[in-house]
Structure formats: C-alpha cells, structure tokens
C-alpha cells in the first residue's frame, strides 16, 4: 500500500500503548499487591470478577491470567502507579470477537480515564487481531457512568438481564455492550479519538502544603 496517511490515521494504526494521559504496561510482580487491594476495594469489588467475595492472595493470582488474551496495568505517563487494569479475554478466533473489562480506581470514576484506558486497549486489540467486535458485560450501576456513549454511537447495548445483580440495597440490570470495529473507527474521528493522540504535557506546580 502506498500514499501518505493523516495524523488521525497514524494514531489509529499505531499499536502504541500510550494514550494521551496514560500508559498501558505489562504486569509485573510488583503490580500484584496493588491490584489485589484494588480488587477488594468496596467500590470496585462488586463490579469486578470476585463480586464482593474475598479470595486469598494466591487464589487472586491464579485467576489473573486464565482466558486472558492481553491485559495491561493502567498507569500515568512516567509512573508505575497502578490506576487500574484493562483486560481482553475469552477471545473467539473463529467468530472474531473477544471480551474486555476495565477496572479503575474509584477516585478516577466519571473522569473519562476509564474510556481512555479502554480505547488504548481497543486500539491494541483491533491492531493485532482481525476481530469484529469487543464485548463487555457490565452492571447497571457501572453502566450509568458511561451510558451516554450509546447515543453517541460509541457502542451498542445488545441486551439486558433485568435485575440480575444485587448491589447497594437493590437489584441492577446486567448490561451486554458491543464495541464494533466500525464504532471504534467512528469514535476516532471525535473527542474520544483525541484520547489516543499525542500532545504536549505541561508542568504542573506542586500542590501547596
């Protein structure tokens, strides 16, 4: 293939693990303890795989990798701080899809950083595999944090299981969402696409003591 590509196309075609504010990086042994703590955070655990139960550290580690296609710790640029985890798992190579999950520290919810981390994962997955879609299963209480993306066309709600999960004194729907390759391409044209473009960092003065 010949011809020049635009900056937007270059960003889309890059397998980079850097997004605008974040880096997706390989898990190391040092990340296991912070991830274990994150998995047991009361604001996270009921929406992550352990659903409020408290597995041993060894059991947590055993379940960290089975079924995983690729997973990355989410950190700020230039730091090893664990802000979250993005995972692509249960890949189906015959039908060309995989599942994905994003977990972020509760202090970062509703800031767009989960979407930024997910877009970094989606770029990596769509770059490396000829998948048609990425499927996410979520709980209604988490879905409301990004539900406006359906109207924007970033994803499609494929189904709901009414009152599937008990959490916080009530039942919440289970929500199945697909993010298809063409929706990824479309998202890259707007503000969400800006999350994957490089830029200039500014020097933030230290907070007053």
Cα torsion angle, 192, 194, 197, 201, sign: negative
What is the C-alpha separation between 206 and 208, in angstroms, rounded? 6
Question: Is residue 27 close enough to count as binding other proteins by CB under 8 A?
Answer: no
The least distance separating other proteins from the CB of residue 46, rounded to whole angstroms, comes to 18
The least distance separating other proteins from the CB of residue 197, rounded to whole angstroms, comes to 9
The least distance separating other proteins from the CB of residue 66, rounded to whole angstroms, comes to 29
Nearest to 45 by CA among 34, 54, 58, 32: 54
The answer to whether 97 and 133 have CB atoms below 8 angstroms apart is: yes
| Selected binder of other proteins within 29, 203, 208, 209 (CB under 8 A) | 203
| Selected binder of other proteins within 154, 165, 172, 184 (CB under 8 A) | 154
What is the C-alpha separation between 131 and 114, in angstroms, rounded? 21
Dig out the tokens for 102 from the structure.
Answer: 């994003």
| Selected binder of other proteins within 54, 80, 144, 189 (CB under 8 A) | 144
Instruction: Write out the binding residues for other proteins, residues 164-193 only, by CB under 8 A.
Output: 191-192
Bridge partners for 87 per DSSP: 71, 101
Question: Where on the chain is the footprint of other proteins (CB under 8 A)?
Answer: 14, 16, 18, 20-21, 76-77, 107-116, 144-149, 152, 154, 191-192, 194-195, 198-205, 207
């Amino acid at each position: 293939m010949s011809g020049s590509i635009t900056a937007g196309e270059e960003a889309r075609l890059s397998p980079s693990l850097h997004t605008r504010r974040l880096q997706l990086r390989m898990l190391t042994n040092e990340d296991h303890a912070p991830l274990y703590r994150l998995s047991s955070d009361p604001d996270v655990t009921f929406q992550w795989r352990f659903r409020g139960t408290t597995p041993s550290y060894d059991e947590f580690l055993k379940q960290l990798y089975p079924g995983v296609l690729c997973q990355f710790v989410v950190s700020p640029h230039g730091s090893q701080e664990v802000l979250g985890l993005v995972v692509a798992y249960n890949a189906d190579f015959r039908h060309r899809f995989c599942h994905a999950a994003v977990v972020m520290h509760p202090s970062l919810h509703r800031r767009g950083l989960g979407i930024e981390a997910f877009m970094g994962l989606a770029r990596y997955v769509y770059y490396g595999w000829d998948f048609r879609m990425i499927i996410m299963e979520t709980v209604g209480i988490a879905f409301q944090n990004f539900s406006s993306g359906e109207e924007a066309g970033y994803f499609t709600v494929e189904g709901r299981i009414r009152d599937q999960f008990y959490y916080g004194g009530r039942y919440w729907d289970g929500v199945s969402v697909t993010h298809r390759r063409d929706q990824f391409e479309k998202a890259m044209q707007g503000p969400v696409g800006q999350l994957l473009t490089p830029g200039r960092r500014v020097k933030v003065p230290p907070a007053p003591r």
